[in-house]
Amino acid sequence: MNHQNDMAPHYGATHHSFDDSEQQGFSTEDIIWAVGIWSVILTLSPVIVFYMLMVA
């Protein structure tokens, strides 16, 4: 049984193409995703620096 064909219709369901002239700027989902990524990076950076100082 091939599972790739089962998942194919779901890939482009929620994402808009960049050629779409209706959507300009960032959507709320993009902003929440970016804030989440940066919060993880800023939270883990002191831990990584401390680890590098202890190991080096």
DSSP 1-56: --SHHHHHHHHTSSPPPTT-SS--S--HHHHHHHHHHHHHHHHHHHHHHHHHHHH-
Report how far residue 41's alpha carbon sits from residue 32's, in angstroms, rounded to the nearest whole number: 14
Give, in order, the Cα–Cα distances in Å from 4 to each of 1, 8, 54, 55. 9, 6, 45, 43
Mean pLDDT of the chain: 78
pLDDT at 38 over 70: yes
Whole-number pLDDT of residue 42: 95
For residue range 11-37, list pLDDT tens digits in order: 555 555 555 556 678 899 999 999 999
User: Which pTM value belongs to this model?
Assistant: 0.46
Whole-number pLDDT of residue 6: 55
Q: How confident is the model at residue 54 (pLDDT cuts 50, 70, 90)?
A: very high
